Amino acid sequence: MRNLCTTIAFSVLLACVAAETKSEAPTTAIEARTGIYDPALDARVEALLRKMTLEEKVGQLVQYSAGQPTGPGTGRTDYEDMIAKGQIGALFNISTAKETNAYQRIAVEKSRLKIPIVFGLDVIHGFRTIFPVPLAMASTWDPKLVEQSARIAAREASATGIRWTFSPMVDIARDARWGRMTEGAGEDPFLGSEMAAAYVRGYQGMRLDAPASIAATAKHYVGYGAAEGGRDYNTTEISEHTLRQIYLPPFRAAVDAGAATIMSAFNAINGVPASANPFTLRQVLREEWGFRGIVDSDWESVRELIQHGIANDRETAARKAFLAGVDVDMASSVYHDYLAALVKSGQVPEARIDESVRNVLRVKFALGLFERPYADESREAAAMLRPDGIALARTVAERSFVLLKNAPGPGGAPILPLSDRFRRIALIGPLADDLNSALGSWAGLGRGEDVTSLEAALAQRVGAQSLVRHKGVGITDGSDADLAAAVAVAATADVVILTLGESGQAMTGEAASRAHLGLPGRQQELLEKIVATGKPVALVLFSGRPLTLPWAFEHVPAVLAAWLPGIQAGPALVRTLFGDSSPTGKLVVSWPYSVGQLPIYYNALNTGRPANKKDLTEPPGDSDDMYVSRYLDERNEPQFPFGHGLTYTTFRYGPAKLSASSLKASAPMALAASAEVTNTGSRAGEEVVQLYVRLMGTSVAQPVRALKGFQRVALAPGETKEVTFSLRPDAFALWNDRNQWVVEPAKAAVWVSPDSAQGTPAALQILP
């Protein structure tokens, strides 16, 4: 680490500074928070390690699912016997205190060394109290809310003895076909890093050994979201430059926030599977970042090295993954079957086994498992669905909605919020009462019965006599008669709330890639027939990703992206539709017109022949529009850009201003970047103001814009505020052509804007 940092031309990167400090003086907030960087643990780890046989050491590196499988089955069930022999260090997919305690009793009372089991689960957006899916949570642009929701999830999970979550997923996702886009924070590394750190802080709390804290896992390390064609598990080709600037930063942020574990991914990166990749696992994670926690494989990703084609048998798979830096084998059993023999035959040094066992024991000690191995069964039920968690679930849902469009309806005012003029409301579409869809994928112990649907909340709000409900069609099915009946119902109403989208569980999440991103089944027909009635329509879209709906955006006056909102779907939507709460979410992914545009992301490189004539670089040599980077039959721009989101008032932005017109690359200093923002509407409102930069003339091409800050401001009608950001030196750092983080002399542009496509930039010179 030290050498690497000092070879950098100038250490502008706080990352380097932080990592150096970490190995020398472990007294930072991270140490206090997690314990895994606390040298005081090391003595306990070493003392225990000295007592362990090789087989017991290997046992700590073995993890099985003992409940509902979350991948292909492994066929093992003899866990009790194995635990008693010290052959299992971790179990997952168990979810009651009774069960965790039963297994724990065997480990603590029957195994020779009494090393407790650590129990894990995919606690992704809540445990029992289910929050909106992570893509929606990120759309709040509010890390504090995300942290608080992770805290609630930790409180509930830990009450059952689960002290380890396989979350946050911090994969950058640029392709909406990939079903797992729903699990992450979208396409941007800066926002993704803020969210990654927020989840870690929430799960792990101020101290990892507090009973209600759980260990976080940043996954899937790394590049999983770059799956070619958006097809889950597919291979990835990622240059080191893109890896460093785009895919690695959220993992770095999670590690810096103290994440206790990292999960290695399924995908191959440039031909080397991520679960056998010494560059990412050893060089970057351990040597450069100084990570001291556990590297866990993904489900059977060690055995899958055979399918990848870099191992011809299970033994080789075990050896390659282990030597590359995967400490723990999730579910595939190959470490259990081969690691000890590999040591005995001299193919794996025992010192390497010790290293991995230290990583595991360190986390177990840091969690306080040796002191408190059992869950308190009497506390379990009372920990679930507490009022503060439910209230937070509603707030997060409200803040996650993105108002994509809100054009005037009859009478000239925007359709939303719904006015009292609309006395009879028709609620049409399959998603208004689909409880399981509202939960989204990876819904932990969430139950449909915990969800308050839009239908139920609306009926409560307006009274049954003012509401007419018709499902219209199902998500994927429906008849002509269903369509006709829905149209007849719409005809009786003053306004139609149309709830369309994809199935929250069957069509989003793992192994749920889609090649077509329109409305499934006959929903598009339903949409067109309802619009044809001429009634004002507000479309509420339920989805775990952007859907390509150009027809809807052209013909429907109001469209709200509700994502998959969790247990408080109904109350949050009703409050938003009626204006008790204003939507303030902003897109964290570019919303495409069509699948042919994918992958699409705002922070793209420019090409030598950009189609965008408003580009800041020199104009092209001639005005020919033919030989430019574009499609013949589709726009380059997305339907809605990253950062887009309307609310019930409007804002005007002044041009960006900087506190200096230049800075020195060799000694970059923080700058102030600001703009005036005015509430030009007649309602009070909040706006997420965004800061972007662009660098030109650098050794390696840089994105046309890159997010470097955001803040939420509240403005009364007519009020103007000067919104100021501190633009830190690392905002200008890039991974250069010599594989170093540097600030280079360059021409820069800085925007303070409402999204990634608008704004008037200020110019900045970065001098040598």
Integer Cα distance of 752 and 740 in angstroms: 28
User: Closest separation between CB of residue 484 and ligand BGC, Å?
Assistant: 43
765-768: list long-range contacts, CB under 8 Å, 24+ apart: 765/661, 765/662, 765/663, 766/662, 766/663, 766/664, 766/665, 766/668, 766/695, 766/732, 767/662, 767/663, 767/664, 767/665, 768/664, 768/665, 768/666
Identify the helix (H) or strand (E) that includes residue 748.
strand 746-753
Asked if 709 and 671 touch (Cβ cutoff 8 Å), the reply is: no
Measured from each CB, the residue nearest to ligand BGC is: 70
For residues 56 and 171, which CB has a smaller minimum distance to ligand BGC in the complex? 171
Q: In terms of CB distance, is 331 or 569 closer to ligand BGC?
A: 331
Write each residue from 14 to 53 as x if it is in contact with ligand BGC (CB under 6 A), else as -, in one continuous string: ----------------------------------------
Residue 98, CA distances (Å) to 29, 59, 570 in order? 35, 23, 33
Cα–Cα–Cα angle for 333, 353, 302, nearest 5°?
A: 30
735 binds ligand BGC (CB under 6 A): no
Q: Is residue 71 a contact point for ligand BGC (CB under 6 A)?
A: yes
Closest CA to 398 of 592, 570, 283: 570
Report the distance separating Cα 666 and Cα 660, nearest Å: 16
Minimum Å gap between C-beta 151 and ligand BGC is: 20
Are 232 and 298 in contact by the 8 Å Cβ rule? The answer is no
Interaction of residue 166 with ligand BGC, rule CB under 6 A? yes
Residue 70 is a binding residue for ligand BGC (CB under 6 A):
yes
What's the closest the beta carbon of residue 202 comes to ligand BGC, in angstroms? 18
C-alpha gyration radius of the chain: 26
- Cβ atoms < 10 Å from Cβ of 666: 12
Q: For the residues of 632-649, what is the DSSP string, one character each?
A: SSS-SS-SB-TT--B-SS
Q: Which of 287, 343, 338, 341 shows the shortest CA–CA distance to 317?
A: 338
Residues contacting residue 396 through CB under 8 Å, at least 6 positions apart: 131, 132, 136, 137, 140, 145, 146, 149, 566
Distance of alpha carbon 262 from alpha carbon 672, whole angstroms: 35
- As measured in angstroms, the least distance from the Cβ of 166 to ligand BGC is 3
Output 69 or 271, the one with its CB closest to ligand BGC. 69
Q: Which is nearer to ligand BGC, 512 or 750 (CB)?
A: 512
For ligand BGC, which is the closer residue by CB, 154 or 727? 154
Q: In Å, how far are 447, 558, 672, 754 from 418, measured between CA atoms? A: 30, 10, 40, 25
The residue count for binding ligand BGC (CB under 6 A) is 8
Query: Percentage helix, strand, coil, to 5, in the chain?
Result: 35, 20, 45
As measured in angstroms, the least distance from the Cβ of 443 to ligand BGC is 13
Task: Please tell me whether residue 593 binds ligand BGC under the rule CB under 6 A.
Answer: no
298 included as an active-site residue: yes
741 binds ligand BGC (CB under 6 A): no
As measured in angstroms, the least distance from the Cβ of 359 to ligand BGC is 18
Binding mask 298-327 for ligand BGC (x = CB under 6 A): xx----------------------------
Could you say whether residue 232 binds ligand BGC (CB under 6 A)? no
State which residue, 332 or 647, has the beta carbon closest to ligand BGC.
332
Please report where in the chains the tokens 């399981």 appear, as a residue.
436
- Token pair of 429, please? 């579409």
For 153, 154, 166, 292, 362, the CA distances from 160, given in Å and listed in that order, are: 11, 10, 16, 26, 22
Interactions with ligand BGC, residue window 423-462 (CB under 6 A): none
294 versus 559: smaller Cβ distance to ligand BGC: 294
Among 19, 61, 111, 122, contact with ligand BGC (rule: CB under 6 A): 122
Which of positions 133-152 make contact with ligand BGC (CB under 6 A)?
A: none
Q: Which CB, 74 or 283, lies closer to ligand BGC?
A: 74
By C-alpha distance, which of 768, 767, 764 is closest to 659? 764
Burial of 767 (0-12, 13-18, 19+ CB in 10 A): exposed
* Least Cβ distance, residue 134 to ligand BGC (angstroms): 12
Q: Which is nearer to ligand BGC, 187 or 510 (CB)?
A: 510
- What are the tokens at 407? 């054009």
What the block records as the tokens of 658 is 């900087």
- C-beta of 219 vs 471, nearer to ligand BGC: 219
Query: Residue 387: CB partners within 8 Å, gap ≥ 6?
Result: none
Q: Out of 38, 298, 327, 329, pick the active-site residue.
A: 298
| Binding string, residues 280-299; x marks residues near ligand BGC by CB under 6 A | ------------------xx
CB of 399: closest distance to ligand BGC in angstroms? 25
User: Cβ 87 to ligand BGC, closest distance in Å?
Assistant: 20
Query: Measured on CA atoms in the order 563, 565, 566, 567, is the torsion positive or negative?
Result: negative
Binding mask 198-227 for ligand BGC (x = CB under 6 A): ---------------------x--------
Q: Which is nearer to ligand BGC, 160 or 698 (CB)?
A: 160
3-state secondary structure of 627: coil
Shorter beta-carbon distance to ligand BGC: residue 68 or 378: 68
Q: Strands across the sheet with 294-296, in order? A: 217-221, 261-264, 294-296
Quick one: 179 or 373, whose CB is closer to ligand BGC? 179
User: Residue 516: what are its φ and ψ, rounded to 5°?
Assistant: -120, 130
Look at the chain and count its residues.
768
Task: Give min distance, CB of 447 to ligand BGC, in A.
Answer: 19
**Cβ 317 to ligand BGC, closest distance in Å?**
17
* 654 counts as binding ligand BGC under rule CB under 6 A: no
- H or E stretch including 572? helix 569-577
Q: Which two tokens stand for residue 484?
A: 């006709």
Element (H, E) at 500: strand 495-501
In angstroms, what is the minimal distance from the CB of 219 to ligand BGC? 6
Nearest approach, Cβ of residue 78 and ligand BGC (Å): 21
Contact between 510 and ligand BGC by CB under 6 A: the answer reads yes
Say which residues have a Cβ less than 8 Å from residue 576's Cβ, sequence separation at least 6: 398, 401, 417, 560, 582, 583
- Residues lying near ligand BGC in the complex (CB under 6 A) are found at 70-71, 122, 166, 219, 298-299, 510
As annotated, the active-site residues are 298
